[in-house]
Structure 1
């Protein structure tokens, strides 16, 4: 089968590789769509932290935002899975450690991460092996485009849940990228007053086109009942602490390439809770339900869908003018024609 393989910093190609064979408790999914995200771009550039820690190494087969149809089932898998459209959890814990048994499998020290950690192949390929325990069935109303947005949507949903806001309360989302916009859409669907902070330019303009008219390009003049930092700005976590109301929550889901500092005196004296969010684990079903209900429509976030052969250009940050400013690019790895 064909798969997109990153062989080194700035080097990638579509290769013919052996198709996966499902092991016990596994299925093989025919991939219909796969999203490209910042983590994938870091693998392509060589900036990904796991490449330095030894948790990943070249060659890498990326792709952890995906949707597809189950085509093969291994021993012990219910045949009812065959033919179902699914997505799945990126984080694959060992299943036997205290973290896994305690419901924190996404933090398992020995975990695989699909398309990211410890060599598990990703979804920029015609077929993808997945443990059946990681599968998330998709409702009939959730097509491949929406399905490939469930993983980032699960991250955003967990961030919004962690902010613990009610209708009419005020949320600041820092960073109008895919996760930030999905968090904004999710919060708005719950009746939250959403504000977005970002740099002047196309990303913030695109957010306004979605109806988010309360935008900031500098330190807001208000305080907020919750703040979600979905940016990669080094100073954003500190700004989030300054902008949140005393006694409320700051949610950190973005990561800077450099160390970010927070003055803990601000947390203590404001009785502020800071929450970190890693992965969509636990949020996939909720995101799929939101999309199926129509309460959240993330389709406008997808600028274009390209074949495997164009994935390297996307990872290098090259965008066609006709794509506009929507943040997400999808890949359809199926053979053309």
Structure 2
């Protein structure tokens, strides 16, 4: 099958690789669409921290925002999965340790991450193997574009949930990228007054098209009571700024990661009786995100600026923007099988 492989910083392309088989407890998914995220770009440039910590190494196959159709199941998996449209959890905990047993598989010390960690092949390929327990079925109301936005949506849903917003609360989202815009959409769906802060430019201009209550730069941010501040940026100074801005007794949520350490004054945190929450991964937010996409309370599709082919991906990771791309922050890759499906792929496979 065809798969996108990064072999070294700045060196990547589509290769012919062995297709996956469905091991016991797993399925094979024919990938239809996958998204490109900042993590993928950092793997391409060599900046991603996992490369320096030994959690990832080249060559690697990226892609963790995806949807597709189950084409094969392994031993112990219900054959009813075959033919179903699905997406899946990126965070694959060991399912045995104390954290996994407590429902915290996304922070399992032994976890794999699809397309990210421990060499688990990603979904920027014609097929991907996924544990059946990590699957989430997509209803017909969630089309392919939205299905490939469930993973970033899950991160945003968890961030807004952690902000503990009530109807009428005023929320400030720092950073108008994909996660920030999705946070803003989920916060608005929850009944909050929503404001975004960013740097002047295309991203901030695009944010104004959603009709949020306010879109600001640091220079013109009004002096208002912020009942929650969600930092979805990569700016190292904004976590401390979030702490300065939020109302006492309220919450700051950190879902963005800077390339260098971010510092906050814990004296301000304690004296303001402020709760700070960190968000890693979409796991607990996948089902609520699918439900919100299905009922139309959140529509992620305007964020998708362009859809390209797998062969175009290296140029995109290197910084090129597709011709005729819209103003949104997200690029999708449309993937379809280029060769006949191997014999037996539609049947239950056994190791």
TM-score (norm 2): 0.94
| 1:150 aligned residue | 150
Which blocks of at least 5 consecutive residues in structure 2 are unaligned? 340-351
Pairwise CA distance, 1:333: 2.1
Pairwise CA distance, 1:324: 2.8
Task: Indicate the SS of the match to 1:155.
Answer: helix
| 2:344 aligned residue | none
Q: Does 1:309 align with 2:327?
A: no
- Quick one: distance in 1 between partners of 2:320 and 2:82? 37
| 1:289 aligned residue | 291
Pairwise CA distance, 1:321: 4.9
- Quick one: distance in 2 between partners of 1:247 and 1:259? 25
Task: Indicate the SS of the match to 2:284.
Answer: coil
Q: Does 1:33 align with 2:33?
A: yes
Pairwise CA distance, 1:313: 1.1
Check whether the contact 2:9–2:45 (CA below 8 A) recurs between aligned residues. yes
Please point out which of 304, 325, 328 is paired with 2:327: 325
- Quick one: distance in 1 between partners of 2:322 and 2:20? 33
Task: Indicate the SS of the match to 2:324.
Answer: helix
Large movers: runs of 4+ above 2 Å:
none
Pairwise CA distance, 1:320: 3.1
CA-to-aligned-CA distance 1:115-142 (integer Å, 9 cap, x gap): 0000000000000000000001111111
- Quick one: distance in 1 between partners of 2:195 and 2:55? 37
- Quick one: distance in 2 between partners of 1:285 and 1:236? 30
Count of residue pairs the alignment pairs up: 337
- Quick one: distance in 1 between partners of 2:190 and 2:78? 36
Q: Does 1:275 align with 2:293?
A: no
CA-to-aligned-CA distance 1:142-191 (integer Å, 9 cap, x gap): 11111000000000000000000111110000000000000100110111
Task: Indicate the SS of the match to 1:15.
Answer: strand
- Quick one: distance in 2 between partners of 1:320 and 1:31? 21
Task: Indicate the SS of the match to 1:245.
Answer: strand
Structure-to-structure mapping, 1:218-237, within 5 angstroms = 218=218, 220=221, 221-237=223-239
| 1:66 aligned residue | 66
Check whether the contact 2:304–2:326 (CA below 8 A) recurs between aligned residues. no
| 1:5 aligned residue | 5
CA-to-aligned-CA distance 1:217-242 (integer Å, 9 cap, x gap): 01632230000000000001001001
Check whether the contact 2:172–2:196 (CA below 8 A) recurs between aligned residues. yes
The worse-fitting range, judged by mean Cα deviation, of 218-227 and 19-28 is 218-227
Task: Indicate the SS of the match to 1:145.
Answer: helix
TM-score (norm 1): 0.98
| 2:246 aligned residue | 244
- Quick one: distance in 1 between partners of 2:199 and 2:213? 15
- Quick one: distance in 2 between partners of 1:132 and 1:205? 41
CA-to-aligned-CA distance 1:246-298 (integer Å, 9 cap, x gap): 00000000000001000111101100000000000111000000000011111
| 1:265 aligned residue | 267
Q: Does 1:82 align with 2:74?
A: no
| 2:336 aligned residue | 334
Task: Indicate the SS of the match to 2:273.
Answer: coil
- Quick one: distance in 2 between partners of 1:216 and 1:141? 34
- Quick one: distance in 1 between partners of 2:308 and 2:239? 34
